[in-house]
């Protein structure tokens, strides 16, 4: 099992590098605009860290190999970003970060985890579906999740279909 801990301020630039590295995978499937998109700024990452919503999966030297950003949205904790460096991919780090967040969300009295993602990218919606997330139709989205979806529709480059997904915490604790 991966070691998960809160991100430290001095690691934020490394988190940006992890996201940029992970994002390069999109070029292999023709999503160059996403592959070239810039990760969040240090200021944006610090806001998540300061609010207790930035987690890292670390290697044996306590160096981040992946990270997750989250914050409250409607009745859930929302996954804003989860990225794993390509050198550490396919080892369960993303799933471990999500499981850690599920435990955190339950302790904070949240009903679920939510996220938005690309519908057809294999390591996006199909991956999250394997973890138990289900698509949330627009009519079933809370107001804050609906606002995130609307914002992403005009700010995320490209025209690949996106979906909102939800994991009830009871499902996360199988």
DSSP labels, 137-150: -GGGS-HHHHHHHH
Mean pLDDT, range 142-168, rounded to an integer: 92
pTM: predicted TM-score of the whole model, two decimal places? 0.92
Give the pair of three-digit tokens for residue 88. Answer: 């550490």
Does the pLDDT at position 1 exceed 90?
Answer: no
* Whether 146 contacts 74, CB under 8 Å: no
Mean pLDDT lowest among 73-77, 124-128, 141-145, 153-157? 153-157
Mean pLDDT, range 124-153, rounded to an integer: 95
Does the pLDDT at position 2 exceed 80?
Answer: no
Instruction: Pinpoint the alpha helices (H) of the chain.
Output: 12-23, 32-35, 42-50, 93-107, 125-130, 143-155, 169-172
Question: Strand pairing of 76-84 and 134-136?
Answer: unpaired
| Tens-place pLDDT, residues 86-99 | 889 888 899 999 99
**Cα dist. 46→1, 17, 147, 168 in Å?**
26, 15, 22, 28
User: Rounded CA gap, 57 and 84, in Å?
Assistant: 9
Please give the domain boundaries of the chain with CATH numbers for all domains: 3-172 (3.40.630.30)
Banded pLDDT at 173 (limits 50, 70, 90): very low
| Tens-place pLDDT, residues 109-134 | 999 999 999 998 988 999 999 999 99
Question: Strand pairing of 76-84 and 112-118?
Answer: parallel
CA angle 135, 96, 144 (to 5 degrees): 40
| Tens-place pLDDT, residues 158-172 | 888 899 999 999 754
């Amino acid at each position: 099992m991966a070691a998960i801990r809160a991100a430290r301020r001095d690691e934020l630039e490394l988190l940006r590098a992890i996201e940029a590295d992970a994002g390069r995978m999109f070029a292999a499937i023709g999503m160059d605009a996403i592959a070239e998109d810039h990760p969040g700024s240090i200021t944006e990452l610090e806001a998540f860290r300061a609010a207790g919503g930035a987690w890292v999966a670390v290697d044996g030297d306590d160096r981040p190999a992946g990270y997750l950003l989250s914050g409250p949205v409607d009745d859930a904790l929302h996954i804003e970003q989860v990225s794993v460096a390509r050198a550490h991919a396919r080892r369960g780090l993303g799933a471990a970060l999500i499981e850690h967040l599920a435990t955190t969300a339950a302790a904070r009295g949240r009903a679920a985890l939510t996220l938005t993602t690309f519908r057809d990218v294999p390591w996006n919606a199909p991956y999250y579906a394997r973890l138990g997330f289900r698509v949330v139709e627009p009519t079933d989205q809370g107001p804050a999740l609906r606002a995130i979806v609307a914002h992403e529709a005009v700010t995320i480059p490209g025209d690949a279909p996106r979906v909102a997904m939800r994991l009830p915490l009871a499902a996360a604790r199988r």
